[in-house]
């Protein structure tokens, strides 16, 4: 898996949810803070996003907004419209919108969705996202993202056999397209001299090292070996990696190994010995010690808690 896919997979829990909402003005929806992340797409008409902090944001047809940090927010037909609370169920699913009582066409049509995330191991790649990621509709821009939005809208408008599996897959795809579009835009803005993960993924030497770590976290990597992947000396590579990623190469390797172990314990039934081997630990004892240092509990107890 590539770094972006890995970062999302490490945090994702449960199933994502989405719904299509037809709105007649005036309308307003308030979403409480949560452990997950959410997105909204304006298919028709207009809307206002009211973030927890900052000024209201006017949204037009085709605009996509992603709220990565789970802070409360609202969506409304106007900045001063009364808001109605939207209460998700225990699994994070939002209630189905009530059937519209009017026969006229809705003023606004929205796609709203939510992802459940484990924020205890938030990947730095996602943590550095701003409060609101807004991807305005532009002709010819983000064509893959637009295609995924169109397919998702069709599935939610006319539920056919297999829709549950298709919608779940499309939501996973949409999340990756949103993140890809954001980092591609940031890479253009920052260029070669930028900082953060947009620059890290664009830097040939650092990107090569990250792909090596994610491709085989069990490998006993050294700083010199990782630097050689990008054609840099040990010292030059260590400086560049630390500047862009925010921590030294081997510190990131250790963090990623333990994060990967946590995902394996949540999603798989592998014996602890095999989890240790897959994440680069030569003994179950060494693995348990490292895991408890990061998570605060032993691997077996963690598996029982999240299982």
Q: Which domains does the chain have, with CATH numbers?
A: 3-191 (2.60.120.280), 203-307 (1.10.10.60)
Interval 151-201: pLDDT, tens: 998 888 888 888 889 998 999 999 999 998 888 777 655 445 456 788 888
Write the pLDDT tens digit of every residue in 96-146.
666 656 567 889 999 999 998 877 777 888 888 899 999 998 867 788 999
Please state, in angstroms and rounded to a whole number, the distance separating the CA atoms of residues 30 and 87: 9
Of the pLDDT bands very low, low, confident and very high (cuts 50, 70, 90), residue 267 is confident
Tokens found for residue 101: 């009582």
How far, in Å, CA of 204 to CA of 123, rounded?
A: 20
Please give the distance of CA 148 from its chain centroid, rounded to a whole number: 16
């Amino acid at each position: 898996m590539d770094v972006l896919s890995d970062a999302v997979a490490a945090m994702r829990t449960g199933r994502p949810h989405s719904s299509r909402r037809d709105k007649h003005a005036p309308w307003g929806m308030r979403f409480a803070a949560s452990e997950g992340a959410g997105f909204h797409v304006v298919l028709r008409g207009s809307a206002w996003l009211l973030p927890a902090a900052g000024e209201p944001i006017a949204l037009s047809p085709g605009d996509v907004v992603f709220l990565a940090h789970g802070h409360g927010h609202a969506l409304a037909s106007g900045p001063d419209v009364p808001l109605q609370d939207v209460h998700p169920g225990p699994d994070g699913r939002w209630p189905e919108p009530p059937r519209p009582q009017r026969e006229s066409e809705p003023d606004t049509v929205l796609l709203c969705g939510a992802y459940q995330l484990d924020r205890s191991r938030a990947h730095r790649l996602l943590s550095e996202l701003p409060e609101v990621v807004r991807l305005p509709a532009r002709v010819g821009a983000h064509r893959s993202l637009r295609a995924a939005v169109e397919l998702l809208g069709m599935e939610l408008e006319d539920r056919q056999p297999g829709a549950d599996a298709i919608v779940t897959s499309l939501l996973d795809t949409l999340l990756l397209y949103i993140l890809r579009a954001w980092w591609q835009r940031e890479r253009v803005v920052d260029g070669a001299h930028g900082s953060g993960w947009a620059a890290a993924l664009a830097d040939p030497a650092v990107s090569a090292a990250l792909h090596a770590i994610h491709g085989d976290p069990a490998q006993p990597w050294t700083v010199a070996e990782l630097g050689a992947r990008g054609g840099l000396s040990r010292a030059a590579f260590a400086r560049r990696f630390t500047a862009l990623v925010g921590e030294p190469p081997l510190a990131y390797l250790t963090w990623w190994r333990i994060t990967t172990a946590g995902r394996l314990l949540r999603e798989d039934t592998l014996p602890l010995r095999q989890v240790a081997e897959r994440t680069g630990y030569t003994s179950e004892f060494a693995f348990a010690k490292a895991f408890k240092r990061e998570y605060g509990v032993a691997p077996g107890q963690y598996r029982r808690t999240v299982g």
